[in-house]
Structure 1
Amino acid sequence: MTQPIPAEWSPHRAMWVGWPSHEELWGEYFAQAQDEVEALVRALAGPGREQVRLMIGNEEALPGVRARLDGVAGIEIVAARFGDIWLRDTGPIFSAGSAVANAFGFNGWGGKYVYKHDDEVADWIADFSGVPATRHDFILEGGALDHDGEGTVLTTRQCLLNRNRNANWTQADAEAALAEAVGAKVVVWLGDGLLNDHTDGHVDNLARFVAPGVVACPIAFGPKDPNAEVYDETARLLSETTDAMGRKLKVLRIPSPGLVLDADERPIPASHMNFLVADGAIVVPTYGNDMAGRLAGEALATVFPDREIVLSPSNAVLTGGGSFHCISQQEPE
């Protein structure tokens, strides 16, 4: 039987992070996105924290990264190739002890964003890490799942059963595939993800395990939060669910960032749920609302009392469609 994927709060031997490397994808936000990722990796690589493997997507970006970060303790600059920085989705999902790197089919989030080299990232990371890759013959992005380390997996129907990934999948098909690939014993099916999320509702923007038997999900912040109903329905579903160990799930409600608009005044999927669990720290993305960010950090401190809560801006990274959890992938010890 396949062993469950470790919870993210388990110790890591390394943390992969993607560096904004292609100016044509970021436009006017390119420099700011690099600044935000630099702040992230410096927070991750503090004393007693992560060995960061900072993956650079093309040769043009290397001189600038080396000027910023060469010689910084705990940060290894890795020259490679990718289309964009979303390593949570294009990279492998490592098994316990990083014995196996699980690699999946990738089709650009249902064909919406297809870039050269993204379908090579999982094998490339596995090879660099010295971990044998196991290739699974279905399409899956890592951000579509969240794991408790005991065989309970969170996901959304909007994404995992979307016909633009695995066209003929039923719920039973998906559960069988996840049991074989990532050791899922219980799959918790949530409904829709955030409004205008081009990943079709990745769960790492909606609900995350924060302790055995405990799941965090947002509560609306401000009167115009466009996802208020989705948040409440998610909390209701979670509170009615039993995990793989037979526990009724407890729900920790964390303030959302509220209404965040893009340059065209459309709501975008800003989420404090895209926090990154690292050795020694929890890095929480913020989006310009200081009160919302502070309250989210205080809520997470109640379940991660042994880690520093780091609030770090992610406004420019968000313009690419995600945040800190989306651009990273851990190798468990």
Structure 2
Amino acid sequence: MSSSDQIWRATASWNRTSRFWLAWPKATGHRDHDEIARDDSVALAQLLAAHAPVTMVAHSADVVPCSLQMPSGVKILAADSGAGLLSAQPVWLTDGAGAILAGVACDSVSGRDLAQAAGVGIVDLPAGWQGDLIETDGEGSALVLSRLADGLDGGRPEAERLLREKLGIVTVIWLDDPRTGPGTGRVPARFLAPGIVAVPGGHTAQHPAFAALSANRDRLRVTSDRMGRSLNVIDLPCPNRTQGCYSDCMVAGDLVLVPEFEESRDAQAFAQVVAALPDARVVGFPASHLAAPGAGLGRSVLAQPKLN
């Protein structure tokens, strides 16, 4: 789907949600961990199903045990790639007529498969452009990981032109990459609401990502979005569990899930998000066995937006 005259706009995560997509946890060989992860997945599906339909993506070999544990009404989608189907998150877009589309990197097979399963049209993005690299507010502003411009001959100016033309993003806020090892990386910040951004904080100077995260936080505090609002930066604590991230909340409509890592800082992170979002329904949910390394619940749940 392409047209030089078509205008698309990247949507915000607080739009109404038409469906939640989850991934059935892979077996790790650690029995206790696997049982807790699956119990938490069932509980998460049940919680989300009260807000919108839920699809649990499971590897073909796991469909039967997954189906036996899922709450009534949760759809099970068998995929040979299993959780890999959700690994390349799309950028959800709205076209001029209000139809929901999926912006998918042209080299992302899993992204295309997901868009097909979601029943939405596809807009091609440059190679390597995954949704994890772009965090949008639905109003023309985006937090963008610096390496999105890697590989483009024109660097950031060329990336900004493409973001404007393909995603309707007018204000690009470039963030340093805190990644310290292999992996796809992600934007180290999340919009919780218009003008409100959660960032990971509390790292000591010895943390390998300290310089990048500190620079990002300082930059955001002196930045305005496309609407002219100064960003309200919520500096959430760093969990003692080094693999977790409180700022990676799941935001869908007025529902915000704050990850819990079974430690004392859970209460602090939860209280900060509640204070920042007085009109939202904020819920704490266990993430220790569901979150990917360095993440929380935002990357564990994919919320598909609904037409307003």
Q: 1:319 to 1:211 in 2, by over 3 A?
A: closer
Question: What secondary structure is seen at the aligned counterpart in 1 of 2:83?
Answer: coil
Counterparts of 1:321 and 1:223, CA distance in 2: 18
Aligned pairs for 1:154-233 within 5 A: 154-157=143-146, 159-162=147-150, 166=151, 168=153, 170-193=155-178, 195-196=180-181, 198-200=183-185, 202-203=186-187, 206-220=188-202, 227-233=209-215
**Secondary structure of the residue that 2:159 maps to in structure 1?**
helix
Q: Which runs of 5+ in 2 are unaligned?
A: 1-5
Instruction: Note the C-alpha offset of 1:98.
Output: 4.7
Q: Deviations over 1:185-220 (max 9, x none)?
A: 1110111325557333x11xx211122222221330
Preserved contact between residue 92 and residue 304 of structure 2 (Cα < 8 Å): yes
The residue number in structure 1 matching 2:3 is: none
C-alpha distance in 2 between matches for 1:221 and 1:294 = 18
Counterpart contact for 1:156–1:193, Cα < 8 Å: no
User: Aligned pair in 2 of structure 1 residues 314, 94: CA closer, same or farther (>3 Å)?
Assistant: same
Overall identity of the aligned pairs, in %? 25
2:292 maps to 1:292: no
**How far, CA to CA, are the matches of 1:181 and 1:77 in structure 2?**
32
Q: CA RMSD in A?
A: 2.7
The structure richer in helix per residue is 1
CA contact (8 A) 2:190 2:198 kept: yes
Per the alignment, residue 7 of structure 1 pairs with 12
**In 1: Cα distance, 2:260 partner to 2:209 partner:** 17
* Inter-partner Cα distance in structure 2 for 1:86 and 1:327: 12
Aligned-partner residue type, residue 3 of structure 1:
W
The code of the aligned residue for 2:214 comes to D
How far apart, in 1, do the equivalents of 2:183 and 2:36 lie? 22
CA contact (8 A) 1:86 1:327 kept: no
Bigger CA drift: 237-246 or 221-230?
221-230
Distance 2:284 2:120 in 1: 33
- Alpha carbons 1:40, 1:283 under 8 Å: kept: no
Q: 1:98 to 1:304 in 2, by over 3 A?
A: farther
Q: TM-score, normalised by structure 2?
A: 0.84
Say yes or no: does 1:278 pair with 2:252. yes
Map 1:10-25; keep pairs closer than 5 Å: 10-21=15-26, 23=27
| C-alpha distance in 2 between matches for 1:253 and 1:319 | 21
User: What is the CA-CA distance between 1:300 and the residue it aligns to?
Assistant: 1.1
**Alignment-derived partner of residue 129 in structure 1:** 118
- Secondary structure in structure 2 of the residue aligned to 1:324: coil
SS at match of 1:8: coil
SS of the equivalent of 1:274 reads: coil
Note closer, same or farther for the CA distance 1:305–1:195 as it changes in structure 2 (3 Å cut).
Answer: farther
Q: Tell me which residue corresponds to 2:135.
A: 146
Structure 1 residues 146 and 177: CA distance shift in structure 2, 3 A: same
> Equivalents in 2 of 1:328, 1:184: separation in Å?
24
Q: Which residue of 2 aligns with 1:80?
A: 79
Q: Which residue identity is paired with 2:100?
A: A
Match of 2:241 among 240, 256, 260: 260
Deviation at 1:66, TM superposition (A): 0.7
Show the counterpart of 1:68.
69
Q: Is the 8 A contact 2:19 2:303 kept in 1?
A: yes
Residue deviations 1:44-98, cap 9 Å, x none?
A: 122xx12212222x22110111111152x4x2222233253472x4243221355
Distance change in 2, residues 1:180/1:328 (3 Å)? farther
Higher-RCO chain (CA-CA 8 Å, sequence separation at least 6): 1
Specify every segment of 5 or more residues in structure 1 that has no aligned partner in the other structure, as ranges.
107-118, 262-267
Confirm or deny: 8 A CA contact 2:101 2:122 kept in the other structure. yes
CA distance in 2, matches of 1:226, 1:213: 28
Q: Tell me which of 28, 37, 45 is aligned to 1:41.
A: 45
Letter in 1 for 2:63: L
